[in-house]
Structure 1
Amino acid sequence: MINFNYETDFELENETLYEEWVSKIIDSEDKTEGEINYIFCDDEYLLQKNIEFLNHDTLTDIISFDYTMGNLISGDIFISVERVKDNAADFNVDFVEELKRVMAHGILHYCGYKDKTEEDSALMRSKENEKIVMF
């Protein structure tokens, strides 16, 4: 089950389309869909989560809490819409494209992909691109 929650004045254009897409991402990685909660928020909201749970006093575009057990993918994915907008401008890409990248990124972490090394980051970016095309 995929849920969308809004802690800011943003809303997805077509939740059903995004829900089906996230399900396809999970299926494409041979995983089973559990409960995925996307929480769209602003910088202030996500900064507080970053400080409270990760002890990081920095802005970020995404924080994910992974409750995956085996192949059952579950978790809470917090996304700062403000950060995504700024990143889209910085990378000269469309906001919706960058939003899809971040949404896929959270799911890919749950599927076991990392991004701490250059090699892992390159694989993660490749997987993000592969999943965006599935939209």
Structure 2
Amino acid sequence: MTFDNSDDADIIEGDIFISVERVRENAQDLGVSFRDELHRVMIHGVLHLLGYHDKDLLSQTAMRAKEDHCLSLRTF
């Protein structure tokens, strides 16, 4: 869950709450590593703070593409 606490459009401030149990379940269900799913969830929360939404199919697709791009930047 992500909570945007920004009062100023120029400052990003918020809280991201992640359920480790849910990440573990999702990783198993999706056939990906726990680390990869955790990173995706973290990126997803940051994208919400940056103004991305995922309420409809079009925005979900755009957010998933941005998540994939961010994940591809990892060097480990």
TM-score, normalised to structure 2, is 0.90
1:123 and 2:65 correspond: no
- Structure-1 separation of matches of 2:57 and 2:34: 25
**1:75, 1:113 → 2: CA distance?**
14
Within 1, Cα distance between the matches of 2:62 and 2:10?
20
**How do 1:31-42 and structure 2 match up within 5 A?**
none
Counterpart of 1:78 in structure 2 is 17
User: Cα RMSD over matched residues?
Assistant: 0.9
Decide which structure has greater strand share: 1
CA distance in 2, matches of 1:87, 1:95: 8
Q: Alignment length, in residue pairs?
A: 73
Query: 2:33 aligned with 1:94, yes or no?
Result: yes
In the alignment, structure 1 segments of 5+ residues that lack a partner are 1-62
Structure 2: any 5+ residue segments left out of the alignment? none
TM-score, reference length from structure 1: 0.52
Runs of 4+ in 1 over 2 A off after TM superposition: none
Q: Which residue is 1:64 aligned to? A: 2
